[in-house]
Amino acid sequence: MRSGANLGSGLLGQSAAAGSGNGVRAAGDEIDSAAQLLHERTLTATTFTVATAALIRDAGTNSFERPALQMRADTGNAGIGAARAAVELAFAFHYAVTGDQHGTDGVVARLGGLTAGGDYGYYLDISCATADRTADPAISARWIDDEQSVRGRRRAVVTARQAAIRAR
């Protein structure tokens, strides 16, 4: 089982890699298969996780906005904090890929509220790094690697996604 930090980082990295052209078909098939298996099940949190992976796969494209807004509403109604934070992480990635600074401002504000109790605070740090922003040092996550390396990896995922979208 993955820790929360690894889940957030892994979800972003794996889904972004899937959307960047590396294994797009295989990853897309896996996401679609998982969604089909979970359809009409009561595994709400797991269903949200798979749907969030699909959002990250579609980040930076016109296919993102409508399902993402629906997911934001659904996770808010379900009251599952982890799912709400993960959806905001998907929005952060989408806005970083599209260069939408206003959208990023909103995500940072929402994640700040969602993580104020300390849970999933690293999502705020990941969101800031993907948008090439500095996170508030008072709430910033402490990573095993140095901050510059971590931020560089987050930005590399964004630039790879941008390149993949341009190549389509």
Q: What's the pLDDT at 74? A: 95
The pLDDT tens digits for 26-56 are 777 888 887 777 666 656 888 899 999 999 9
pTM for the model stands at 0.76
Contacts of 41 (CB under 8 A, 6+ apart): 47
Q: What is the pLDDT along the chain (168 residues), one digit of tens a residue?
A: 334 444 455 555 555 555 555 566 677 788 888 777 766 665 688 889 999 999 999 999 999 999 999 999 999 999 999 999 999 999 999 999 999 999 999 999 999 999 888 888 889 989 999 999 987 777 667 788 888 898 899 999 999 999 999 998
